[in-house]
């Protein structure tokens, strides 16, 4: 249709639409231009003497006081303050800080004479101010404070400005030489669209001053080669900026071709290319087999496995070995131990859990083991703990007690229960604050305890965020008996109690012991339970009772760490919205926390390190890598075995520990394997395995009953107690991954060198050395028959010569010359015979010393040494090691003692006690 054929009204409508559209576009452009307009920094605006602007308390005054250190830990931000003046740490509480400055009998501001205000004249007087002179009169800092006071020292507590975001440029800094500098610029973007350069009002810190320094004006200076982050904080925002200085010229186009067969490898090399770091070569088959066996299953490969793997020409043999190890009970036990560490399975904390003497720590372990064995999705494992309750929907208290009584009486497993309630039964887990801190540690990998008292220094959480977050943990109560306000359950409890033939006055442990006896007699006994109470059941009481403890402190609304408010009255279980939040696809903590912790079991560190500190101020060393693993972990339905495979099948994991010139000092970018101490349980287990008999050594992947990686709780008994303690087994006593120590200590060295139990493990009858001794003994006895016969003849001849000398003395005294001559001839002949026998004995001994000791039990002299090395270091010895080992065996008077010495020496090498 052309214009002449188009009706007039259609042309008119088109014109009107075009006009409106153009007008709208113009308005949009004007608005965009307005939003992009950035107010100059406060230094620029307040340096002129004639400035009339009144600064904002929240946006300018408090950040300025932070810049000057007024609200730092060592000054007025400490809990007790300084000189009677207390500010919130890092200026998180604007309302309280405004009151501290302006209220009271002696306010810190003087509205009539601003320059007489304490916050002005005291910090400018070096003698009067304990902290010295902070700023000068006439400076821009002075004008900011003075103008604010002149403007009435205002702050609208009910109209707090909302920071939308903090834009920091550049987003990444790459230096090429030492002492280079780069200025950061920070733009605050507020919810009303206004923008301001707040660079002079930010707090700047560096995570590694060996790589980069940053001053209080935001200028970054390069130091040694490496990578780190500088952290910028303003208002609620915390931003991290990567700082890199390549270690070589092999960057960009100069970077060599490096294989990247998996997505993990691509993301790792992407970072290495920026750093000029070239990854090491692939590790050998023997080293890979040892490494992956220890990392996945906490177990050494047997000599037979090593030999078979080394000659296997299948290109997929490494992937197949990973799959095989993930199907072993040893993997299940090791992964279960990690989850027990994280969730806090501690015997000492579990009291009043059951009337039975069955260890609750064992039940906790069994519950997790069952799910790891079935490869239950991690989110479902977490949900079974987080949403735990004793009574299922519609189940009465009596029905619950009958079910539990039957379970213990019939020997059923606690693992069959839907929920793992013991997590909520710990003694240090009773108050909402304790629960919030422990929960954030276990399932979010976050240290939130700082926000319990003040704003978190390296994240966005405030005290108010913490207080609202803890509300989600007020609805669960683990109790020995139902509450009286639950009349039906309490009456059922009383009925059960009255039906038992026990003294009703008994309490505590005495009562529980009687319950156990009654249970064995077939009675149903009362059981402690985890009760979950919805908010609405206590809404009226909450309004009246504000003591701040237990159920009475619950609010009908709460937020998950700054998220949107949630009406808890919509939920039967106030923990449900937290679990829903964790399962959200873009949750920043849940998947990342477990992914990071599992990654750390394969490398010397996590992608975020420490692994329990996922905060904005402690960013990942490789953010795209962590993002990828977390996103794919969720996409694969939280499949733990997928996660293990994805990591172990990467070339990055299979790199050699041998460094090159570019990665010699790299410990955080995964360019090589970093030799690391083994977990305590694994260290103890492989000592036992390496010294065990041939038959026993091969059972360690499948038979875990006596393995340290299968110890459920923290109570240690028997021979394993001391070595597990000194090798740093997790005590699960605090909300910190540091409960497990991976550091080398003198006690570990002393144990490996001198402990009686270690020498016993090497040489007992059930050990490999003992097995070899039993095989060698008959042959050794046969070989030594000639020597023993000669020694016996010499002994008898000595006795005869002694008798002859006695006879000569008697005959001489008696004067019997003929008989005396005969005896002397026999003694002389005996001496000649003795000399001959001694020569024969020397020849026999010399001949035996020249014969290879190994011939008595092995086909070649090197076989025994090879076997010892394969058992301990999972490789054959070098030529030098073989020469030294054989020399020691030949010099040993007893070949078994020589073998004992060799095993002891190998167990004491660094190569044995670390994974590499």
Q: Quick one: three-class SS letters along 116-172? A: HCHHHHCCCCCCCCCCCCCCCCCCHHHHHHHHHHHCCCCCCCCCCCCEEEEEEECCC
Q: Nearest Cα to 662, choosing from 284, 247, 371?
A: 247
Domain boundaries, the chain: 3-31, 42-150, 163-245, 347-587, 745-783+852-916, 784-851
Is 374 exposed, middle or buried (CB count within 10 Å of its CB: 0-12, 13-18, 19+)? exposed
Q: Which residues contact 668 (CB under 8 A, 6 or more apart)?
A: 227, 605, 609, 621
- pLDDT at position 566 is 86
β-bridge mates for residue 532, sequence order:
476
Q: How far apart are CA 897 and CA 769, in angstroms?
A: 9
Q: How far apart are CA 473 and CA 348, in angstroms?
A: 22
- pLDDT at position 358 is 67
- pLDDT at position 3 is 40
C-alpha 850, offset from chain centre: 54
- pLDDT at position 11 is 36
- pLDDT at position 837 is 76
DSSP symbol at 765: T
346: tokens are 């501690």
Number of helices followed by number of strands (H, E) in the chain: 35, 17
167: tokens are 């834009």
513: tokens are 């012991």
- pLDDT at position 211 is 96
53: tokens are 């602007």
pTM metric for this prediction: 0.84
Angle at CA 737, nearest 5°, toward 731 and 742? 75
The answer to whether the CB of 20 falls within 8 A of the CB of 26 is no
- pLDDT at position 81 is 61
530: tokens are 């985890």
For 196-221, the DSSP string reads EE-GGGSEEEES-TTTEEE-TT-EEE
The answer to whether the CB of 36 falls within 8 A of the CB of 189 is no
- pLDDT at position 475 is 84
Q: How far apart are CA 146 and CA 123, in angstroms?
A: 13
Q: How far apart are CA 340 and CA 349, in angstroms?
A: 13
Q: How far apart are CA 905 and CA 180, in angstroms?
A: 51
Is 365 exposed, middle or buried (CB count within 10 Å of its CB: 0-12, 13-18, 19+)? buried
Q: How far apart are CA 299 and CA 333, in angstroms?
A: 11
185: tokens are 């610029």
Q: How far apart are CA 407 and CA 714, in angstroms?
A: 25
pLDDT beneath 70: ranges in the chain:
1-36, 71-74, 76-84, 87-88, 91, 126-131, 357-358, 450-461, 536-555, 562, 777-788, 798, 844-845, 847-861
Question: Where does 163-245 sit in CATH, by number?
Answer: 2.60.40.1080
* Residues belonging to the chain: 916
- pLDDT at position 508 is 79
Q: How far apart are CA 245 and CA 277, in angstroms?
A: 11
For 686-707, the DSSP string reads HHHHHHB-HHHHTTTTT--TT-
């Amino acid at each position: 249709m052309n214009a002449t054929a188009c009706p007039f009204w259609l042309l008119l409508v088109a014109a009107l639409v075009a006009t409106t559209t153009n007008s709208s576009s113009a308005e949009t452009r004007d608005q965009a231009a307005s939003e992009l307009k950035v107010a100059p920094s406060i230094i620029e605006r307040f340096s002129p003497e004639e400035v009339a602007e009144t600064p904002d308390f929240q946006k300018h005054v408090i950040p300025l006081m932070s810049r000057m250190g007024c609200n730092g830990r060592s000054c007025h931000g400490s809990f007790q303050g300084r000189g009677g003046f207390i500010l919130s740490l890092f200026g998180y509480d604007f309302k309280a800080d405004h009151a501290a400055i302006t209220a009271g009998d002696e306010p810190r501001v003087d509205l009539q004479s601003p320059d007489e205000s304490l916050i002005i004249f005291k910090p400018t007087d070096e003698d009067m101010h304990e902290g010295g002179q902070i700023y000068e009169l006439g400076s821009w800092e002075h004008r900011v404070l003075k103008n604010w006071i002149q403007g009435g020292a205002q702050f609208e507590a009910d109209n707090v400005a909302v920071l939308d975001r903090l834009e920091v440029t550049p987003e990444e800094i790459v230096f090429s030489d030492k002492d280079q500098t780069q200025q950061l610029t920070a733009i605050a973007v507020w919810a009303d669209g206004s923008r301001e350069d707040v660079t002079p009002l930010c707090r700047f810190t560096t995570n590694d001053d060996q790589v980069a320094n940053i001053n209080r004006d935001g200028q970054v200076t390069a130091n040694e080669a490496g990578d780190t982050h500088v952290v910028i904080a303003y208002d609620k925002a915390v931003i991290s900026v990567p700082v890199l200085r390549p270690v070589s010229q092999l960057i960009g186009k100069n970077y060599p071709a490096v294989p990247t067969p998996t997505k993990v490898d691509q993301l790792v090399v992407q970072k290495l290319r920026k750093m000029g770091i070239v990854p090491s070569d692939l590790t050998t088959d023997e080293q890979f087999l040892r490494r992956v066996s220890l990392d996945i299953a906490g177990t050494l490969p047997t000599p037979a496995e090593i030999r078979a793997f080394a000659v296997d020409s299948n290109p997929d043999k490494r992937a197949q070995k990973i799959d095989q190890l993930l199907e072993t009970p040893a993997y299940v036990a090791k992964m279960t131990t990690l989850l027990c560490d994280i969730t806090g399975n501690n015997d000492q904390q579990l009291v009043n859990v059951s009337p039975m003497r069955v260890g609750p720590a064992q039940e906790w372990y069994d519950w997790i083991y069952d799910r790891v064995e079935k490869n239950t999705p991690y989110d479902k494992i977490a949900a079974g703990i987080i949403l735990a309750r004793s009574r299922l929907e519609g189940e009465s208290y009596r029905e619950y007690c009958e079910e539990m009584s039957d379970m213990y009486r019939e020997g059923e497993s606690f693992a069959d229960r839907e929920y793992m309630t013991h997590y909520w039964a710990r003694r240090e887990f009773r108050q909402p604050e304790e629960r919030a801190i422990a929960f954030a540690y276990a399932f979010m990998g976050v240290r939130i305890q700082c926000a319990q008292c003040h704003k978190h220094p390296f994240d966005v959480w405030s005290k108010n965020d913490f207080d609202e977050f803890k509300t989600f943990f007020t609805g669960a109560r683990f109790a020995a008996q139902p509450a009286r306000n639950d009349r039906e359950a309490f009456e059922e409890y009383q009925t059960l109690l009255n039906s038992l033939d026990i003294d009703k006055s008994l309490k505590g442990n005495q009562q529980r012991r009687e319950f156990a006896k009654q249970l064995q007699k077939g009675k149903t006994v009362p059981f402690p339970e985890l009760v979950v109470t919805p908010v609405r059941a206590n809404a009226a009481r909450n309004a009246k009772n504000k003591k701040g403890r237990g159920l009475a402190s619950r609010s009908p609304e709460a937020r998950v760490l700054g998220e949107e408010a949630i009406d808890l009255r919509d939920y039967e279980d106030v923990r449900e919205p937290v679990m829903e939040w964790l399962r959200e696809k873009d949750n920043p903590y849940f998947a990342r926390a477990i992914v990071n912790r599992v990654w750390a079991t394969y490398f010397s560190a996590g992608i975020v390190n420490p692994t329990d500190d996922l905060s904005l101020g402690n960013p990942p060393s490789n953010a795209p890598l962590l993002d990828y693993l977390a996103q794919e972990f969720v996409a694969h339905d939280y499949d733990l075995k997928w996660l293990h495979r994805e990591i172990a099948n990467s070339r990055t994991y299979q790199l050699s520990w041998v460094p090159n010139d570019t990665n010699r000092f790299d410990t955080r970018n995964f360019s090589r394997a970093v030799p690391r101490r083994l977990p305590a349980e694994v260290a103890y287990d492989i000592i036992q395995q390496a010294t065990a008999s041939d038959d026993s050594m091969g059972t360690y992947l499948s038979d875990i009953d006596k393995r340290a990686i299968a110890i459920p709780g923290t109570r240690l008994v028997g021979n394993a107690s001391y070595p597990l303690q000194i090798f740093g087994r997790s005590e699960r006593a605090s909300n910190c991954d540091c409960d497990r120590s991976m550091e080398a200590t003198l006690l570990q060295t002393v144990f490996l060198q001198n402990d009686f139990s270690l020498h016993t493990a090497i040489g007992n009858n059930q050990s490999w050395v003992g097995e070899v001794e039993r095989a060698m003994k008959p042959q050794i006895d046969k070989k030594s028959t000639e020597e023993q016969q000669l020694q016996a003849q010499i002994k008898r001849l000595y006795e005869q010569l002694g008798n002859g000398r006695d006879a000569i003395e008697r005959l001489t005294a008696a004067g019997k010359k003929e008989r005396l001559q005969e005896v002397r001839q026999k003694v002389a002949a005996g001496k000649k015979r003795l000399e001959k026998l001694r020569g024969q004995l020397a020849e026999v001994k010399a001949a035996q010393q020249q014969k290879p000791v190994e011939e008595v039990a092995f086909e070649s002299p090197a076989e025994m040494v090879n076997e010892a090395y394969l058992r301990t270091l999972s490789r054959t010895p070098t030529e030098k090691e073989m020469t030294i080992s054989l020399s020691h065996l030949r010099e040993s008077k007893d070949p078994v003692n020589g073998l004992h010495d060799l095993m002891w020496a190998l167990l004491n090498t660094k190569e044995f006690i670390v994974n590499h």
